[in-house]
Amino acid sequence: EGDTAVKFINGGSGGEQAAGGAKRLKKLLSGTDKPTVCVVCYGTCELTFKNEKSFTPAMKEIVKLLKEE
């Protein structure tokens, strides 16, 4: 609806932790068809594998990278 089309890119990777997503994100967004909306879902693996300390810095890096794009 409206004048803007939503571009969706599925960049998900099952079982990945936020740090892995932060490492892949720049390459994923470097294509010509950049998404207009981004949904980021991480945290379950960090809790399962007791990596809570790596979760927050990785999510901050993801948000920073998305703001730069």
The 10s digit of each residue's pLDDT in 58-67 is: 999 999 988 8
pLDDT at 32 (0 to 100): 64
**Residue 58 CB coordination number (10 Å):** 19
pLDDT of residue 2: 66
Please work out, in degrees rounded to the nearest 5, the angle formed at the alpha carbon of residue 3 by the alpha carbons of 36 and 41.
25
Q: Would you tell me the crossing angle of helices 52-68 and 18-29 to the nearest 10 degrees?
A: 20
Q: With CA atoms as reference, report the closest residue to 39 among 3, 5, 11, 15.
A: 11
pLDDT tens digit sequence for 17-67: 889 999 988 888 887 677 778 888 888 877 777 777 888 899 999 999 888
